[in-house]
Amino acid sequence: MSYLQVLDKTFIPLLSESQILDRIQNIADEINQDYKNKQPLFLVILNGSFMFASDIFKKLSIQSRISFVKIASYKGLVSSTENPITAIGLDQNLHGQDIIILDDILDTGKTLYRFVHDVVLPMHPNSVKIGVLLYKPKACVFDIKADYVGFEIDNRFVVGYGLDYDGYARNLPEIYQLKS
């Protein structure tokens, strides 16, 4: 068992590169089937999802488009309980489109919940599905479900394959979890 050191934290291997790529092939097969006669628009949430999106997109045989968005929350001028969010880089009109949102991980669910309800649904797309590589069922507290899930994992911090600790470890082709 080879440990990974990132800054002050130690990680142990969780998913190998071939496990990840095999599972992504399965998800791509499902999407190719589900969207056979459609032309979905993929919305990829940066930064963590860039590897997942790239690998899944290469395995698609349907006609589809992809767009990358970064979620930011900004402080409103009037006081409110929640800061509004904005999707930087989202320049398409989603009206009538079949949308597939891709994210690296469904953790508390806050990011996806806010993106779907504040940004995507108000534009009246034809349909919305969500694909995530990782899902932490024990961490998810928002009312949001993914339609395509790579792996269900424990409620432990993970890095690699796009996911970072303080900006580092995104480059690794496999996924590691925090050593207890």
Binding site for Mg ion (CB under 5 A): 48, 104
Using CB under 6 A as the binding rule, whether residue 150 contacts ligand IMP is answered as no
Report the half-sphere exposure of 18 (CA within 13 A, side-chain side): 0
Using CB under 6 A as the binding rule, whether residue 83 contacts ligand IMP is answered as no
Using CB under 6 A as the binding rule, whether residue 111 contacts ligand IMP is answered as yes
The long-range contacts involving 16-23, CB below 8 angstroms and separated by at least 24 positions, are 16/174, 17/161, 17/173, 17/174, 20/55, 20/133, 20/150, 20/161, 20/173, 20/174, 20/175, 21/55, 23/150, 23/151
**Which entry of ligand IMP, Mg ion, none binds 110, CB below 5 to 8 A by partner kind?**
ligand IMP
Using CB under 6 A as the binding rule, whether residue 133 contacts ligand IMP is answered as no
Considering the candidates 107, 118, 164, 166, report the single residue annotated as catalytic: 107
Using CB under 6 A as the binding rule, whether residue 110 contacts ligand IMP is answered as yes
Q: Could you list the active site residues? A: 107
Contact residues for ligand IMP, defined by CB under 6 A: 48, 103-111, 157-159, 163
